[in-house]
Structure 1
Amino acid sequence: MTAPELDPAAIEAALIPYVAPALSHGGVVLAVSGGPDSTALMRAASRAGPTVPLHVVTVDHRLRTASVTEAGTVAAMARHLGLRHDILPWTGAKPANGLQAAARAVRYALLGRYAEDVGAQWVLTGHTRDDQAETVLMRLLAGSGPAGLAGMRTERALVGGVRLGRPFLGLPKAGLVAYCAAQGLVPIQDPTNLSPRFARARLRRLLPDLAEEGLTDARLCRLAARCARDDDALGQAAAAAYAAARRAADDPILIRLDGPTLAAVPDAILIRVVARALGEAACPGAAAPRLEKIEALVLTALRPALDTRTPLRRTLGGCLVSLTRGRGLTLAPAPARTGRAPRGDGLAAGARDLLGKGDGAAYIGPECPD
């Protein structure tokens, strides 16, 4: 879709489902960095919900010296539109690796707490169809399953009763750029969006060539929609299987699952059941295991053990996973390491970098925020 085909009314109409119900609540939080997407979000929201309390928030990651000035520019644009604006700084040390992933996590945490403080039920971002295509491509390279290839969801839980919404996820970025120009708004251009330091920027440069071969953003987004449907269906089936297999445990820190019930479910469901159990049993702060680690545990160890009723003992993601004839499958926080080299399967969670570039690998379960 080219920019002239995108009716400005369609951009503003995309905000109505979010701003209309907010009249009876604490309004809506708009995450605005000053780029064309979020600038269009701010302007369209002000037109779609002129009587709704709109809270414009800029997260200053403190990663560039220009970020303070940019946040001030957003504040000036918000004031011009008659909107409240606040700046949320990311203070403290920054990680040497996985910087973008850490910044995303902090950003959503700050936005979620801010929304709770003002009583808003929605935090809206300006993510577009282009962003979705990039996300799906990154996760494809990471070897993700349906959960990752589903990309970003239009809506998801953020924190407590606050939800994250992406009203522009089906719209092309070019249309939002044209909308800003028509409204007389001059967005900020973030140089990190072009920096080869980051995987997303590197892949963004490849997308035009991939589109020439037929892998367009529309097809990538269609793949995301199909994977989202499959992921939802698998998630529901796994939840039902988990509930059917769950048994009372002697120790409250144990997760106990019935072995014969697990043996009867397909591999795709068993992987998700184990992932859910690992999430409940892991030690606080333990990293979520990568999908390939869970697959290795289930397909090469647990499934054969279930079929042959053979005892099993493994560690993964901070958990001790044990299968016995009498107690079924149990999961509990793994005991602290003594400093000796680990023995056995080597299934403890490893490095999380994608191709050594500092971005996340493939995971199963809730989407990685973008």
Structure 2
Amino acid sequence: MAVSGGPDSMAMLLLAHAAIPGAFEVATVDHGLRAQAADECALVVAACEARGIACATLKVQVSGGNLQQQARAARYAALGQWAAQRGLAAIATAHHADDQAETLLMRLNRGSGVAGLAGVREYVWMAGLDVPVIRPLLQFRRAELATVIEAAGIEVAHDPSNAADRFDRVRIRKALADADWIDPLAMARSAAFLAEADEALETITNRAVRDYLTKTGDGAELVPPPDRAIALRVIERIITGMGGSPRGSDVARLHDRLERGEGGNIGGVLATTEDGLWIFRPEPPRRTG
């Protein structure tokens, strides 16, 4: 179980201790990005010691660039290694219905497809992890978890970034707070339905890869799949398999160019049309000098 010391994850700790005492362990991650991080980890350790719960503090280093994204990647990598070493069955995080609603609105605002609109998955295998990640609180509201903390009377940490308007999620969170006609639980159910649709599309995509795709040395040849949604997923798989990290909007634009008989490139992968096939090759190195 991943516990940051914030109210949501501390509520998850208390609920798990009441429901399955002795059946879980806790890890808290120190990213080293704020002076208060060590104290917040110590808060989690103290809460666990008071209840006889095994707890580990994991220290990670975060490289430059998108700090939130890099911190997330470092956190999950550390949690995955810890869970594997401890022989644990899964990693639980404290994402709840309000988080899900925020995620859904953020991705709608960015024009995400079905996979993105599925939001935070209740059960997911993340790349590089040997155990799944589970989110047991997706049917809980943030306010419900707050009442758990209030009833227990325990100290929790508050991350100042959760109130910083420079982050899209914070602005959406504040907008949702003023929109009492929006039901986050209903939005969470919609995200779950979209996750089911995404799984069905993945099954069809697997068949399309088998039927339409041919590997050619360091590249690939693709018979254009008849369904656009499936074609987009196959193209994304090809580019990812060749070392790229494509964004959905870029894949869509490339697909449309290929349909017009044109070409393009994404993330070091060059795509062209030849004799009715879509050809994918590593982009040649650029000449210098």
TM-score, structure 2 as length reference = 0.92
CA distance in 2 between counterparts of 1:206 and 1:59 reads 30
Q: 2:286 aligns with which of 337, 349, 358?
A: 337
Pairing of 1:56-95 with structure 2 (within 5 A) = 56-91=26-61, 93-95=63-65
Q: Residue type of the partner of 1:239?
A: N
Match in the other structure for 1:364: none
Q: Once the 2 structures are TM-superposed, how far is the Cα of residue 270 of structure 1 from its aligned partner? A: 1.1
CA distance in 1 between counterparts of 2:212 and 2:63 reads 43
Q: Residue type of the partner of 2:141?
A: P
Pairing of 1:33-72 with structure 2 (within 5 A) = 33-52=4-23, 54-72=24-42
CA distance in 1 between counterparts of 2:16 and 2:32 reads 27
Query: How big is the alpha-carbon RMSD for the aligned residues of Structure 1 and Structure 2?
Result: 2.0
1:321 aligns with 2:280: no
Match in the other structure for 2:221: 256
Q: Once the 2 structures are TM-superposed, how far is the Cα of residue 160 of structure 1 from its aligned partner? A: 4.4
Gap regions ≥5 residues in structure 2:
none
Q: 1:243 aligns with which of 199, 202, 210?
A: 210
CA distance in 2 between counterparts of 1:244 and 1:320 reads 22
Q: Check the 8 A contact 1:193/1:201 in 2, yes or no.
A: yes
CA distance in 1 between counterparts of 2:63 and 2:72 reads 15
Q: Residue type of the partner of 2:250?
A: K
Q: Once the 2 structures are TM-superposed, how far is the Cα of residue 336 of structure 1 from its aligned partner? A: 2.1
What's the CA shift string for 1:186-241, capped at 9, x where partnerless?
222222111123221122111123x24x3332343233123223222222222211
CA distance in 2 between counterparts of 1:297 and 1:94 reads 30
Match in the other structure for 2:259: 303
What's the CA shift string for 1:143-177, capped at 9, x where partnerless?
11111111010010134430100000111111111
Q: Check the 8 A contact 2:30/2:57 in 1, yes or no.
A: yes
The secondary structure found in structure 2 opposite 1:51 is: coil
Q: 2:147 aligns with which of 142, 155, 178?
A: 178
Residues 1:92 and 1:133: Cα distance change in structure 2 (over 3 Å): closer
* Aligned residues with identical type, % of pairs: 35
CA distance in 2 between counterparts of 1:239 and 1:215 reads 36
The secondary structure found in structure 1 opposite 2:49 is: helix
Q: Which has the higher contact order (CA 8 A, sep 6+)?
A: 1
TM-score, structure 1 as length reference = 0.73
Q: Check the 8 A contact 1:255/1:281 in 2, yes or no.
A: no
CA distance in 2 between counterparts of 1:135 and 1:204 reads 10
Pairing of 1:1-370 with structure 2 (within 5 A) = 30-52=1-23, 54-91=24-61, 93-95=63-65, 98-158=66-126, 159-209=128-178, 211-212=179-180, 214-249=181-216, 251=217, 253-257=218-222, 259=223, 262-263=224-225, 265-282=226-243, 286=244, 288-299=245-256, 301-305=257-261, 312-325=262-275, 328-338=277-287
Count matched residues: 288
